[in-house]
Amino acid sequence: MSVDILHVGKTFGAGTQSLTVLEDINLSIPKGKFIGVVGASGCGKSTLLRLIAGLDRDFTGSIHINGRSVDGPCRDRAIVFQDHRLYPWLTVHDNIGLGIEELPLTAAQRNQRIHALIELVGLRGFDKIYPAQLSGGMAQRAAIARALIAEPDILLMDEPLGALDSLTRSYLQDELLRIWEDRRSTAIIVTHDVEEAVFLCDTVVVMAPRPGRIEARIDVPVARPRDRSAPEFVQLKKSILQKLIR
């Protein structure tokens, strides 16, 4: 599904207490593309993702998904947060199953789908485990599985790998790419890590703060799998970093 963001603005509060967080955001994302959003803390990245997810409808301008105006959350869009937000009282299996609770499936169909996702994110054997017994990376994988299970056309990720060590992080970046290539959903990832954005994305959007706006859009014309040490990769990373600190 395509995403079209037109003149989007967002202000929290009213009167002298008001804070304009997003101003005139324009972004068109073709179906199946992987988009990265980077920018200083507080520049409105999470706010923008929440608007696309339909979790907050109080904004100006318009957001269209496949030409239709966003009017609330929908199963065609799934969101992964920085903290995994798994329910501690449910097993990995049941947490992932939450994503399809309302679908008219038989118990067998439901289980089959849950197991396919557990397999996809590499959590085989952990289905009966509770979140407290998982490592951070495993919990994030479970959260990604929960987001993917309803087969969303748009996957929204807010720093999904932010809390992980660099090794787990680069491993899960490979996994994310594999899943995205497999499903061909449209993906938007917010990240603090410019290298992660260049590694994963077709286009990197650089946001500037106060008020949050788009400073630059940089296409990444590098074939995947990408070599992080290739000169063109390093050069792109450098030019994005320069735009970020300007």
Ligand X SMILES: Nc1ncnc2c1ncn2[C@@H]1O[C@H](COP(=O)(O)OP(=O)(O)OP(=O)(O)O)[C@@H](O)[C@H]1O
Map residues 46-85 to x or -, x wherever contact with ligand X holds by CB under 6 A. xx--------------------------------------
Region from 35-43, 99-107, 140-148, 179-187 binding ligand X, contact rule CB under 6 A:
35-43
- Give 45 or 237: the residue with its C-beta nearer to ligand X: 45
Distance from C-alpha of 157 to C-alpha of 172, rounded to nearest angstrom: 13
Of 178, 192, 193, 195, nearest in space to 229 by CA:
195
- Give 45 or 93: the residue with its C-beta nearer to ligand X: 45
| Binding residues for Mg ion restricted to 34-93, rule: CB under 5 A | 46
Local structure of residue 25 (DSSP, 8 states): E
Contact 185, 179 (CB under 8 A): no
Sheet arrangement for strand 203-208: 77-80, 154-158, 186-190, 34-39, 203-208, 213-219
| Binding residues for ligand X restricted to 9-28, rule: CB under 6 A | 12, 19, 21
- Give 21 or 123: the residue with its C-beta nearer to ligand X: 21
Contact 82, 61 (CB under 8 A): no
Q: What sign has the CA pseudo-torsion 79, 188, 144, 133? A: negative
CA 3 to the chain's CA centroid: 14
- Give 81 or 171: the residue with its C-beta nearer to Mg ion: 81
Region from 36-44, 124-132, 144-152, 228-236 binding ligand X, contact rule CB under 6 A:
36-44
Site for Mg ion contains 209 (CB under 5 A): no
Contact 21, 183 (CB under 8 A): no
Site for ligand X contains 42 (CB under 6 A): yes
- Give 20 or 46: the residue with its C-beta nearer to Mg ion: 46
Contact 148, 78 (CB under 8 A): yes
Region from 45-53, 142-150, 165-173, 224-232 binding ligand X, contact rule CB under 6 A:
45-53
- Contacts with Mg ion: how many residues (CB under 5 A)? 1
Point out which residues bind ligand X (CB under 6 A). 12, 19, 21, 39, 41-47
Point out which residues bind Mg ion (CB under 5 A). 46
